[in-house]
Amino acid sequence: MDIVVCIKQVPDTTEVKIDPKTNTLVRQGVPSIVNPFDKNAIEAGLRLKEKYGGKVTVVSMGPPQANDALKECLAMGADEAVLVSDRAFGGADTLATSYTLASTIRTLGHFDVILCGKQAIDGDTAQVGPEMAEHLGITQLTYVARIDIQGDKVQVYREHEEGYEVVEAKLPVLMSVVKSINVPRYPTVKGIMKAVHKDKIRVLSAKDMEVDMDRLGLKGSATQVRQIFTPPQRGQGILIRQDSARKSVDELMAKLTDAKIV
Amino acid sequence: MEFEFNEEQRMLQKMVREFGEKEVAPGAAERDEKDYFDRDLFDRLAALGLSGTCFPEEYGGAGSDTLSYIMSVEEISKYDDGLGVTLSASVSLCSWPIYAFGTEEQKQKYLRPLAEGKKLGAFGLTEPNAGTDAASQQTVAVRDGDDYIINGSKIFITNAGEADTYVIFAMTDKSKGTRGITAFILEKGMPGFTFGKKEVKMGIHSSQTQELIFRDVRVPAANRLGDEGKGFKIAMMTLDGGRIGVAAQALGIAGAALENAVKYSKERVQFGKPISRNQGISFMLADMATELKAAQLLTYRAAWCKDHGQPYSEAAAMAKMFASDSAMKITTNAVQVLGGYGYIRDYPVERLMRDAKITQIYEGTNEVQRMVVSGALLR
């Protein structure tokens, strides 16, 4: 089985502080980690390899520093690592990121399964995985808590608040996994030694792939992050209760219009 | 001169810290309270390869170095130093002498499972009448055909009762004094080999300390470690390495104490400000941090000497002595910084202070360490 796992190096958000003066994130001195959900994805990939044979390739789009995250995944047992890095990718939103990653995977060749974590703990959008599946024209299975492969089909349990949805699909698929799917293994001492002494991690830049330059980075981004801030404490809220739904809606619309929300 | 860990060591440190925080720390207070040796926790630690860090791959190890192993003992000891000494006693005092003095058969039979983390080791030298005066061994081993018959006992043995493999010492020729002591590898379950009293200690409650009892234990000559009469030398050389492990344990204890004290001093407000703003406290913390750093450098240097094939007896003695004395001071001061709360079991510093004391005593009391250093100095 050819298994590709997409990971992201993120700041350890439990350590992140908000600068009280500017209300923005203080990133300095915050340790970087492999996005926790991505570790679940790596573990899922390793277990698939242990059960069905094959290879696990871990891919990450990021600056050169993301190599540390890739090495950690190699130390867990991944076979190969690819860093997708280029100035041209800078400033990318989820659309440009998913386009870049999808192009990378096309460049790498054959795959049976792509695994992603549910969401990144810094962006929290949960969009990149599903968008990648769309770019690649393959089935996406999200919130996966259990994976069973039978020949060329996969059956998954999708986690909902009230239970599980069991879905079957034909390979290849992209799956994004939730925390409850597994407990990621720790790298072993031998794994760490192998990861550090391995041949250089393969680096792909824009010129190594067939891409439309206009769809990369800031240029290829449909959205822009203007500001990150802690929202002010929520007030009590206003309860609108007129004696008819119509009157309640009218009052609500009046308030929304006044507040220039609509 | 490099003063930084290399990439491999930094990754290993990260892994051990994560394991420590998630798996070791949560149960540490309970293990201390209940005097509980958690074999399952050790097995999980060992399964990551931490019992074999510094042994070659051909014997089941990871092929890394002493410094990496020592650093892992320090890190684990920050969360539970009883677990730290369980690891260091097994690796430094049992696995290492088999690696250094064993035959190929002994290495494959005994070192491999220890390095792979499948078995736990122990070292039995101390007896009721042979502590610092280690040469006064009363345990005897008498040759009988292809075997030796061992009679006697050992006390204060770390990992006793739980360990699978034991490197022990016995007198084979009383007339030769220290040159009449021989080392043997014993297995738990050998007829006549039993365990006595489990000691209730001041600290390191999560580490098991028990007596070894030998009553006509028949040990094949193939289990003799090294030649007859070489046992004392083997013991002393083994202890040299073990001392670096104890120093690392002390570093972990001291590091955890300092971290707790710093954190508390920033949070505790008296007279309208955090007590860290008082120089009485901040100067104390500065002294603690400096001593810890000095102890770390001495310890890492001793490991470095061992890794580079240099004599390391004196370096190990300095490290053990300084690190343990520092740990005692740092933990005592940490309790002081926490004031009344420092004395309460809910806060980890009182356990750290109780745990620190033994590092000044075992694997050669600090008086013995001073004998080693002054001996080297005044040659």
Contact B77, B25 (CB under 8 A): no
Count contacts between A and B (CB, < 8 Å).
42
Residue B245 carries which DSSP code? H
Q: Tokens representing B96?
A: 């290492």
B52 to chain A: nearest residue by CA? A189
Positive or negative: CA dihedral A255, A256, A257, A260: positive
The verdict on whether B8 is a catalytic residue reads no
Contact A191, A75 (CB under 8 A): yes
Nearest CA-CA partner of A34 in A58, A18, A55 = A58
Rounded to a whole number of angstroms, the distance from the CA of A108 to the nearest CA of chain B is 28
Q: Is the pLDDT of residue A184 over 80?
A: yes
Q: How confident is the model at residue A227 (pLDDT cuts 50, 70, 90)?
A: confident
**Selected residue of A17, A192, A196 to mutate for chain B interface (largest B Cβ count, 10 A):** A192
The predicted-structure confidence for B117-149, as pLDDT tens digits, reads as follows: 999 999 999 999 999 998 899 999 999 999 999
Residue B192 carries which DSSP code? T
Contact A33, A121 (CB under 8 A): no
Q: Is the pLDDT of residue A22 over 70?
A: no
Of B15, B57, B64, the CB nearest to A187: B15
- Half-sphere exposure of residue B186: CA atoms within 13 angstroms, side-chain side: 35
| Three-state DSSP class for residue A98 | helix
Q: Is the pLDDT of residue A26 over 90?
A: no
How far apart are the C-alpha atoms of B269 and B275, rounded to whole Å? 6
- For B101-126, give one letter per residue: b (16+ CB within 10 A) or e: bbeeebbebbbbbbbbbebbbbbbbb
Rounded to a whole number of angstroms, the distance from the CA of B12 to the nearest CA of chain A is 7
- Whether cis (ω within 30° of 0) applies to the bond prior to A172 is yes
Q: Tokens representing B372?
A: 């080693």
Q: How confident is the model at residue A25 (pLDDT cuts 50, 70, 90)?
A: low
Q: Tokens representing B132?
A: 């610092």
Of A192, A196, A197, the CB nearest to B15: A192
Rounded to a whole number of angstroms, the distance from the CA of A230 to the nearest CA of chain B is 24
> What is the per-residue pLDDT for B149?
98
Q: Which residues of A touch B63 (CB under 8 A)?
A: 190, 193
Q: Which residues of A touch B18 (CB under 8 A)?
A: 186
The predicted-structure confidence for A83-127, as pLDDT tens digits, reads as follows: 999 999 988 999 999 999 999 999 999 999 999 999 999 888 999
The predicted-structure confidence for B186-239, as pLDDT tens digits, reads as follows: 999 999 999 998 999 999 999 999 999 999 999 999 999 999 999 999 999 999
Residue A227 contacts by C-beta under 8 Å, 6 or more apart in sequence?
Answer: A24
Q: How confident is the model at residue A235 (pLDDT cuts 50, 70, 90)?
A: confident
Rounded to a whole number of angstroms, the distance from the CA of B207 to the nearest CA of chain A is 23
Instruction: Write the single-letter amino acid at A211.
Output: V
What domains are there in chain B, each with its CATH number?
A: 7-120 (1.10.540.10), 122-231 (2.40.110.10), 233-377 (1.20.140.10)
Q: Which residues of A touch B68 (CB under 8 A)?
A: 189
Query: Global pTM?
Result: 0.90
Share of chain B above pLDDT 70, in %: 100
Contact A93, A221 (CB under 8 A): yes
- For A223-253, give one letter per residue: b (16+ CB within 10 A) or e: eeeeeeeeeeeeeeeeeeeeeeeeeeeeeee
> What is the per-residue pLDDT for A23?
61
Q: Which residues of B touch A198 (CB under 8 A)?
A: none
The predicted-structure confidence for B141-180, as pLDDT tens digits, reads as follows: 999 999 999 999 999 999 999 999 999 999 999 999 999 9
How many distinct helices (H) and strands (E) make up chain B?
A: 13, 10
> What is the per-residue pLDDT for A28?
73
Q: How confident is the model at residue A72 (pLDDT cuts 50, 70, 90)?
A: very high
| CB pair distance less than 8 Å for A193 and B8 | yes
Q: Helices B349-359 and B25-34 sit at what angle, rounded to 10 degrees?
A: 70
> What is the per-residue pLDDT for B135?
87
Indicate the fold that domain A2-215 takes in CATH: Rossmann fold (3.40.50)
| CB pair distance less than 8 Å for A196 and B8 | yes
* Mean per-residue pLDDT, A183-207: 92
How far apart are the C-alpha atoms of A132 and A113, rounded to whole Å? 12
> What is the per-residue pLDDT for A116?
97
Phi, psi of A248 (to 5 degrees): -65, -45
Instruction: Write the single-letter amino acid at B99.
Output: Y
Share of chain B above pLDDT 90, in %: 98
| CB pair distance less than 8 Å for A72 and B11 | yes
Share of chain A above pLDDT 70, in %: 97
| CB pair distance less than 8 Å for B49 and A189 | yes
Contact A218, A92 (CB under 8 A): yes
Between vectors from CA B110 to CA B107 and to CA B114, what angle results, nearest 5°? 110
Count of beta carbons in the 10 Å neighbourhood of residue B164: 19
Catalytic residue, candidates B74, B127, B228, B363: B363
> What is the per-residue pLDDT for A24?
63
Of B8, B18, B57, the CB nearest to A192: B8
| CB pair distance less than 8 Å for A192 and B11 | yes
> What is the per-residue pLDDT for B4?
93
* Mean per-residue pLDDT, B307-329: 98
Q: Taking chain B, what is the end-to-end CA distance rounded to the nearest angstrom? A: 28
| Residue boundaries of the structural domains of chain A | 2-215, 232-262
* Mean per-residue pLDDT, B78-90: 98
> What is the per-residue pLDDT for B5?
95
